[in-house]
Amino acid sequence: MQAGPAKALCYHPLRNTHSRIEEPVLAARILNGTAIRDEIYKELESEIASLAAAGVRPGLAAVLVGDNPASKLYVNSKIAACGKLGLASFLLTPPATISTEGLLDVVADLNRRDDIDGILVQMPLPKQVDAKRILDAVDPAKDVDGFHPENVGRLVAARPRLVACTPAGVMEILRRSGIPVEGAHAVVLGRSDIVGKPMALLLLHANATVTVCHSKTRDLAGTARRADILVAAMGRAAMVTSEYIRPGATVIDVGQNVLSAAEDVERIFAKFPEKLDAFRKKGTVLVGDVHPEVVETAGAYTPVPGGVGPLTIAMLMSNTVRAARLRRGSGQNRGHAARSSS
């Protein structure tokens, strides 16, 4: 198994108050998602060139409803990734007042277009729009988010076609970083349809023993502590502390939480002055579901930012190329999402 890029191991001093001797504590290996993303992009370039030689340019359509600033940021980053790789991209911006029926018409038009291989409907949608109906209306062959019931069912049956991007990205991090999955006990914190459930299935198909935890799990910290691989995806800022981590475990932080309250930032980053300085300059700071103190307990972990986030977009690009190959190219069973679930 190929070892992926990671920063060098480092040591933090820990003061023993009884002996007054400073003892080094081995810090966790950082799993560099940005470097792994760049590896995947380099591999995709050859696939894109192969398709281009056959007269096929993969195309991604992004549907952004309304003016949500966070959604705009996410969509713009995805469009930029298309430009970097030479994929065609189409941005549709229906008004925030659009109805469910109106948005269904938009999706139906994209389903019919042969120059579009992937359709991304950015969430959340306005309250008056039935999000489930919209996602179910996307052609499964163009469902590069992997949310359609047909693609979910194929994943359950271990016959994946297009897999949810964030879980697929996590599997790439584990595989390319040389983290053993087969036979490992993996604990997934969170049971969402977008991350938790497909994450559990991918780990299960990779022969891990999987436990899924949620808000009603008894002794959540105790259950998490038994994990060789812990995936945190509950959407609660810095909730996972060292109490949740078995020493030496691999910790994957899927959380993306923006903090603006000074008291929260100062509490979480008390030992990280560079983060506090950045917060004071910007007024906000990004933090995952895992408390930064975990670096002193885990064996390896994904930072926020720079961990799972870059892989989510990378796997969206991979799914778009895969969809183009399956729809318009050779139809060969290629692509990172398929490898991740094998």
Catalytic annotation, residues: 78, 122, 145
Q: How many CB atoms lie within 10 A of CB 309?
A: 25
With 0-12 / 13-18 / 19 or more C-beta atoms within 10 angstroms meaning exposed / middle / buried, residue 51 is buried
25, 56, 184, 300 from 12: Cα distances, Å? 5, 52, 28, 15
Please state the separation of Cα 335 from the chain's center in Å: 17
Question: Tokens 């390896």, residue?
Answer: 300
Structure tokens at 78: 């995805």
Q: What are phi and psi of 127, to 5 degrees?
A: -60, -30
CA angle centred on 257, ends 255 and 259, rounded to 5°: 150
